[in-house]
Structure 1
């Protein structure tokens, strides 16, 4: 049996998500090159790669959901594999939960940034700082300090490794809140998918709770599209593209669940 058109679409989306994962690894490595210092703890390292770990956790979850809702037959769900998939899923939840904590920690770091008023950026040269604006980093030196900003108010954050001006700090806060909102919306979508999985696994194909789980996701997806629009507005086209791919990926899971629900309905019909 050949692969149908919808399955080709899913294969393309999942492949593109895997490519994007590689891009996020490179972005995190670049950011670490500007924020690392010798006093880092284990949590600092994992927080620095929070986006990479978050993407990995979601990718594994998406793979598991595809297996559960489409690829595997009922006979494949032996007690061993059911337990194994539950363990993997819990590990993914822990990784994603770590991302939430890391994003909140970064926001806390911004709130506790050190403000310097009535100074020029060039006065911070030779302090080992990196200047940041909209996730773009460059090592601060006597050559670029004048062109980077003419502001007289600056903020040092990221454990004293990064500096930005007033406008840059505003963007940092926006990005931090967008990260937190994004991961929380995805967790809510995942919760709705889990509700549908549990209900349909019990043979439930109708009801208020199932209907709510099916319809509430559209509101949450709308929020994610707005965040994707914000990424595009800030010039982060990779983030916007990645957001769109993830939405399509989880919409595919939703289609799998709807197809499964229809099969349950068909089985209930008298022969």
Structure 2
């Protein structure tokens, strides 16, 4: 198997791992929602309960659409109705991703609802019932078995009926805001990438705009790497692993775009098929 084939295998393994991650995020969101929304999840707040899984699913679809447009389909095919379908699906993904960003923001702001608990100890809330915050999107039922081990300053969210220790609340809040920064940064990268795959639009701007766009993406990717490192140190392995996979996936897409831009327009229809020219 030659080098190009190994590259393709690795690329599609990364894509498959991202699809698997979407299922894992849904599982985590489902478990967290069972604690946060005991009385039922209102439709208007679905994005708060399932922001990571909805966001990941939309990004996976968008990633595959970019792969089709920049690597797999010829320009001739993209001029047909399939091109309009791809652009329409991509626009829908953009809407969902922006919607997911509002979910991350709402979740981060929701930690501001915690107030100092006016109770002698955690066991006073066992009969309510309450859940115990143990990490971002991680909760456990508060029981007579585990309440005695909860010490220090306590904070309570009466609306969600959740209890948190001061240190756990601080760390979960920080991780939630890292989610917001990460989501917003990816939106900016997406806007610049959309410009890259629209050469006619790029021609409307002076040459320095392309250079500025490239430098801006370097900065934005550095922020993404910083978020991944933070998750690796203070978050869950799933968040770190997912961030690593997305960085790898967009390296592939950037490589596709770079090759696509350098490819003579007349030769694309002859040279690009379902083999990786990335």
Question: Normalized against structure 2, the TM-score is what?
Answer: 0.87
Structure 1, 209-218 or 162-171: larger mean CA deviation: 209-218
Provide the residue aligned with 2:36 in structure 1: 35
Cα distance between partner residues in 2 of 1:173 and 1:97:
21
Distance 1:16 1:200, change over 3 A: farther
Could you report, residue by residue, the CA deviation over 1:42-71 in whole angstroms, capped at 9, with x for unpaired residues? 022332111110001101110110011010
Q: Which has the higher contact order (CA 8 A, sep 6+)?
A: 2
For the Cα contact (< 8 Å) 1:57–1:92, is it kept in 2? Answer: yes
Structure 1 residue 220, shift from structure 2 partner: 1.0
Distance 1:121 1:242, change over 3 A: same
Structure 1 residue 258, shift from structure 2 partner: 0.8
Q: Secondary structure at the match of 1:128?
A: coil
Structure 1, 119-128 or 108-117: larger mean CA deviation: 108-117
Cα distance between partner residues in 1 of 2:166 and 2:96:
33
Provide the residue aligned with 2:109 in structure 1: 108
Structure 2: segments with no counterpart, 5+ residues? 268-278
Provide the residue aligned with 2:140 in structure 1: 138
Number of residue-to-residue matches in the alignment = 264
Which stretches of structure 1, 4 residues or more, deviate above 6 A after TM superposition? 200-204
For the Cα contact (< 8 Å) 2:202–2:210, is it kept in 1? Answer: no
Could you report, residue by residue, the CA deviation over 1:88-130 in whole angstroms, capped at 9, with x for unpaired residues? 1121111111111111212222113233146311111111211
Cα distance between partner residues in 2 of 1:235 and 1:47:
19
Cα distance between partner residues in 2 of 1:130 and 1:109:
16
For the Cα contact (< 8 Å) 1:61–1:89, is it kept in 2? Answer: yes
RMSD, aligned CA: 2.4
Cα distance between partner residues in 1 of 2:120 and 2:97:
40
Structure 1 residue 6, shift from structure 2 partner: 2.4
Question: Normalized against structure 1, the TM-score is what?
Answer: 0.89
Provide the residue aligned with 2:208 in structure 1: 208
Provide the residue aligned with 2:275 in structure 1: none
Cα distance between partner residues in 1 of 2:47 and 2:223:
27
